[in-house]
Amino acid sequence: MTAPGVDDAVRAKEPATERRLHPVTPLRRAWAPVAVVIGWAMHDPGQAQQQMTRLTTTTLLVALAVLVPAASLYGFLTWWFTHFAVTETELRIRTGLLFRRTAHIRLERIQAVDVTQPLLARVAGVAKLKLDVVGTDKKDELSFLGEREARELRAELLARAAGFAPETAHEVGEAPVRELLRTPARDLAISVLLTGATWCSLAAALVVPPLLWLATHSVWTVLATGVPLLGAAGASSAGRFVGEYDWTVGESPDGLRIDHGLLDRTHETVPPGRVQTVRIVEPLLWRRRGWVRVELDVAGSSNSVLVPVAPRAVAESVVARVLPGVTVPPAEALSRPPGRAGRCLPVWWRGYGIAVTDTVFAARHGLLRRSLALVPHAKVQSVRLAQGPWKRLWRLADVHVDTGADKTVTARLRDAREAAELLRGQAERSRTGRRDARPDRWMAP
């Protein structure tokens, strides 16, 4: 880091200290050639088996003698040529042995910071750090860093992104976290059991392979369909439970903290004002228990779950913390489309409803699995009104509200006059909603 007490102009020119990743990293990279071999064997099992029988001990040893050093050399070189540095305004990642690549990630544009620890990384005491910025790709993650180093780096990046003076950014340290919600394992297990998709995929995995066996009597066909089906069933039941185990949502001056996972731990931080949309989803089977699931959209982030399962009141209080000043409009406050909407979409039109408060645009859809999407006015990128010939006949129109996370929230089947008013009004609100939005650097004076 730059030395404190140097004046700004000098510091700007001084190159930032470059660092390397954790020395464990080459081991991970060294897996690449092995993975290629395994991938080839999986891709063409018959030929692989044929080749295997032809292998003698000597050739195997020779192959190993070539492969292992080559793999370690590759791992070592990629590690040696990967550097990163934190400057005043950006994080720079320099990679590449033959093809050099430098990623400059602007700190005030950070949408979220993730620290993830796969199971093996937890054993080795290392972690991955990923910055979600609009337009970054998979390569722009720092894997691996020491566990403590990753946490410190996250704190420093967030402090710099928040606009703390560079001299103090290093010493600000981790912001204190106040826990908002922790999902009990029992609730999570019940919620997984009460999800239709879990049972559908399980049933498919149990029914389809025997049927295929009866039809074709080919082991390969059965395996080729059965394994992915079983995998999907596992991912949607046990996988979901393991991934969402011990889901904790916390609040800190750095923003929202989301920690979860039984085997792989993930710690996500979403700085204030980065949430583009929030969806409150209520599956049919959860309704009796009054549970909901809350999803959120952050531009450039892959995670979309905020709360996997919680009673409605708790979930709404979390939403109120995530989107300050927002109250979730109750079901009675939502206005339904006019009755003639049934001519365009029988039965299901009853599931639609919208509400516009002074802070959010809310639209609900779904009859059995209800989903209420909230968009803060300040996050609206554009508003569109669309009307087809059949809708014109019934004087109906749809209003689409586009947000920066590439999600569109739609108020369907509104009365045409109301839709036109909504279009004008929403454009106006989205413009004025900006005025009291917090700046990108949320701690800047």
Partner 1 sequence: METGSPQNAGTTGTAGDGPAEPVWTGLPPGLLRMRRLLLVVWLGLLALALGLLLGLLVGPGWAAFALLPLALTAWGWVLLGRNWRSWRYAERADDLLISRGVLWREETVVPYGRMQLVEVTSGPVERHFGLASVQLHTAAAATDATIPGLDPAEAERLRDRLTELGEARSAGL
DSSP letter string, 336-366? PPPGGGGGTSTTGGGG-EEEE-SSEEEEEE-
Q: Which of 109, 293, 364, 412 binds partner 1 (CB under 8 A)?
A: 109
Note the maximum CA span of the chain: 82
SS3 278: strand
- Give the closest residue to 295 by CA, choosing from 284, 281, 283, 274: 281
**Interface region with partner 1, contact rule CB under 8 A, candidates 44-52, 200-208, 263-271, 418-426:** 418-426
Dihedral, CA atoms, 20, 25, 30, 35, nearest 10 degrees? Answer: -130
Beta pairing, strands 408-415 & 396-403: antiparallel
Residues 122-181 that bind partner 1 (CB under 8 A): 134
**Interface region with partner 1, contact rule CB under 8 A, candidates 69-77, 254-262, 319-327, 429-437:** 429-437
Q: Could you give the string, one character per residue 264-303, with x where binding to partner 1 holds by CB under 8 A and - elsewhere?
A: ----------x-x----------------------x----
Smallest distance, partner 1 to C-beta of residue 444, A: 13
- Residue 400 binds partner 1, judged by CB under 8 A: yes
CB-wise, 78 or 276, nearer to partner 1?
276
Contact 265, 117 (CB under 8 A): yes
Triad 344, 349, 353: Cα angle to 5°: 130
- Give the closest residue to 132 by CA, choosing from 155, 115, 151, 150: 115
Q: How far apart are CA 229 and CA 265, in angstroms?
A: 26
Contact 127, 121 (CB under 8 A): yes
- Residue 424 binds partner 1, judged by CB under 8 A: yes
Residues 299-328 that bind partner 1 (CB under 8 A): 299
Q: Which of 71, 195, 426, 443 binds partner 1 (CB under 8 A)?
A: 426
Stretch (H or E) spanning 83: strand 83-86
Structure tokens at 285: 């089977």
Structure tokens at 66: 């070539």
Q: Which of 282, 403, 414, 442 binds partner 1 (CB under 8 A)?
A: 403
Site size toward partner 1, by CB under 8 A:
40
Q: Which of 64, 207, 223, 386 binds partner 1 (CB under 8 A)?
A: 386
CB-wise, 51 or 382, nearer to partner 1?
382
Smallest distance, partner 1 to C-beta of residue 280, A: 21
Smallest distance, partner 1 to C-beta of residue 420, A: 2
Q: Which of 1, 16, 103, 420 binds partner 1 (CB under 8 A)?
A: 420
Contact 295, 286 (CB under 8 A): no
Q: Which of 198, 406, 413, 436 binds partner 1 (CB under 8 A)?
A: 406
CB-wise, 31 or 390, nearer to partner 1?
390
Q: Could you give the string, one character per residue 2-41, with x where binding to partner 1 holds by CB under 8 A and - elsewhere?
A: ----------------------------------------
Stretch (H or E) spanning 64: helix 57-80
Smallest distance, partner 1 to C-beta of residue 351, A: 22
Smallest distance, partner 1 to C-beta of residue 257, A: 20
| φ, ψ for residue 370, nearest 5 deg | -80, 140
Smallest distance, partner 1 to C-beta of residue 353, A: 21
Smallest distance, partner 1 to C-beta of residue 440, A: 5
**For helices 45-54 and 31-43, what crossing angle results, to 10°?**
110
Structure tokens at 424: 């004008």
Dihedral, CA atoms, 210, 214, 217, 220, nearest 10 degrees? Answer: -30
Note if the bond before 144 is cis, omega within 30 degrees: yes
Smallest distance, partner 1 to C-beta of residue 426, A: 8
> Contact residues for partner 1 (CB under 8 A)?
108-109, 111, 134, 274, 276, 299, 379-389, 392, 400, 402-404, 406, 408, 416-417, 419-421, 423-427, 430-431, 434, 437, 440
